[in-house]
Amino acid sequence: QVQLVQSGAEVKKPGASLKVSCKASGYTFTNYYMHWVRQAPGQGLEWMGIINPSGGSTSYAQKFQGRVTLTRDTSTSTVYMELSSLRSEDTAVYYCARGGTVTTSPPGGFWGQGTLVTVSS
């Protein structure tokens, strides 16, 4: 069965960088795009970016351009989300979510369990 397993909770200081992993299993990793979505405490969902695990191409929300980097390791079927220059407003649960086979497919039926990131001095 399809599973997305994310790395554990993190506490970071302002200005630091963050790297969250999302390990996929149960399907052909390179066939499906992967989205990253975050949710601040008590707030709504926020789309961050998408990666094509096949070629590694990416698209990012304008808000995160220059601060977020999505990468993948096809040998381990893992996608990584790196966010730099952290500030308190980046405190949130970060989710990976499988998309479809084309770039226009939204986050679909399979989501990671979420990774809580706390940014605090």
Positions in the binding site for other proteins (CB under 8 A): 35, 37, 44-47, 50, 59-63, 95, 97, 103-109, 111-114
Nearest partner of 21 among 81, 105, 67, judged by Cα: 81
* Spacing of C-alpha 90 from chain mean position: 13
What is the nearest approach in angstroms of other proteins to the Cβ of residue 49?
A: 8
Nearest to other proteins of 85, 113 (CB atom): 113
What is the nearest approach in angstroms of other proteins to the Cβ of residue 38?
A: 10
Residue 11 one-letter amino acid: V
Nearest to other proteins of 101, 113 (CB atom): 113
What is the nearest approach in angstroms of other proteins to the Cβ of residue 13?
A: 26
Nearest partner of 97 among 82, 83, 115, judged by Cα: 115
Helix (H, G, I), strand (E, B) or coil at 29: helix
